[in-house]
């Protein structure tokens, strides 16, 4: 069982709610007001967490509900992955509306926690957040591959960067531009091209860690977010590994289908700190890199060396236009 820290999370037993109470050092004395393991709307299991430790605790995952007794800088972004309830007995109507628009599911006065309706409002906050997340997931997933789309990737990057504001750590974004889907569609039909995209997604997913994010960026492009790297060479090794894997033929209806791949790489500390900036730079480098059986890929240094002969970088909306095979 997970304990509730002011953060509430669900495990395989969906009847158990795990939460995290984020507050100052004096707030822990009020934990007796929280609904417990024997509550009919739970069971609830709680853990208290100080504000200075909140981001680290949230980044560890496994949280469904965050009860915020003392807000901290960036708390709405940091708690986006869980239902968030703000514990306040003040605030103007305009302020409360602003909190709700920022992503808070509810605002409770401390006295309301101990009331019969307090547990119901906490449970309702969790269910509303789950419904919201499932709706977003449905519209943010590529139909053919089941991978998140560009918008969900950017949202995840924003969340990850917010969690690391206090202790910046490098991460890398790879954009994979593949050539051959249009040829496959012409030879074997559009359904075969869709099956090929699914096979590519499986192969890319198998080549990275479970903590990394693989996303679809259109009909012929994918992205891989390496959530943490020790050094730039780590991203280089992953790019080389993926490049080699994607150059191996794919079997479709008994036919070997080959793809050409180009990979663009952007690093969070070297190339920017905004998700869209990183995506644009990686996309531009992937567009500029040659993709005909090439074993290399375009990182910052390579792009600068090849700038005299490389084609013009892709525009900001490079992924909105289909590459011509």
134 pLDDT band, cuts 50/70/90, is confident
The string of pLDDT tens digits covering residues 60-76 is 667 788 888 777 766 76
What's the token pair of residue 144? 């053919």
Rounded CA-CA distance 274/280 in Å is: 10
Q: What is the mean pLDDT of the chain?
A: 76
Lowest mean pLDDT among 123-132, 143-152, 291-300: 291-300
Distance of CA 86 to the CA centre of its chain: 24
Percentage, residues of the chain above pLDDT 70 = 75
What's the token pair of residue 44? 């609830």
The string of pLDDT tens digits covering residues 209-248 is 988 999 998 888 999 999 888 888 899 999 999 999 998 9
Q: How far is CA 314 from CA 134, 172, 279, 299, in A?
A: 33, 19, 11, 15
- Overall size of the chain counted in residues: 325
pTM higher than 0.75: no
Percentage, residues of the chain above pLDDT 90 = 19
* Cβ(51)–Cβ(6) below 8 Å: no
pLDDT at 106 over 50: yes
């Amino acid at each position: 069982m997970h304990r509730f820290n002011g953060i509430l999370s669900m495990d395989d037993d969906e009847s158990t709610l795990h939460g995290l109470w984020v507050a100052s050092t004096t707030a822990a004395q009020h934990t007796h007001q929280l609904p417990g393991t024997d509550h009919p709307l739970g069971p609830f299991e709680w853990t208290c967490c100080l504000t200075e430790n909140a981001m680290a605790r949230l980044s560890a995952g496994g949280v469904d509900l965050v009860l915020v007794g003392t807000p901290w800088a960036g708390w709405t972004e940091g708690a986006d992955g869980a239902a968030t309830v703000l514990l306040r007995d003040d605030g103007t109507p305009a302020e409360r509306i602003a909190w709700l628009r920022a992503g808070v599911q509810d605002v409770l006065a401390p006295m309301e926690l101990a009331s019969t309706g307090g547990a119901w409002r906490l449970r309702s906050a969790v269910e509303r957040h789950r419904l919201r997340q499932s709706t977003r997931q449905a519209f943010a997933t590529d139909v053919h591959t089941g991978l998140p789309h560009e918008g969900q990737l950017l949202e995840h990057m924003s969340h990850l960067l917010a969690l690391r504001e206090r202790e910046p750590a490098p991460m890398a974004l790879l954009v994979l531009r593949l050539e051959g889907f249009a040829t496959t569609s012409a030879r074997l039909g559009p359904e075969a091209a869709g099956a090929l995209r699914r096979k590519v997604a499986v192969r890319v997913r198998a080549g990275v860690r479970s903590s990394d994010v693989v996303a679809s960026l259109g009909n012929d492009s994918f992205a891989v977010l390496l959530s943490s790297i020790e050094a730039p060479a780590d991203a280089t090794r992953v790019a080389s590994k993926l490049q080699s894997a994607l150059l191996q033929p794919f079997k479709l209806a008994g036919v070997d289908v080959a793809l050409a791949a180009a990979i663009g790489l952007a690093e969070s500390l070297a190339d920017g700190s905004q998700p869209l900036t990183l995506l644009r730079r990686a996309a531009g480098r992937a567009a500029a890199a040659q993709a005909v059986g090439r074993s290399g890929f375009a990182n910052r240094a390579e792009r600068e060396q090849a700038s005299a002969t490389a084609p013009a970088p892709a525009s900001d909306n490079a992924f909105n236009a289909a590459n011509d095979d």
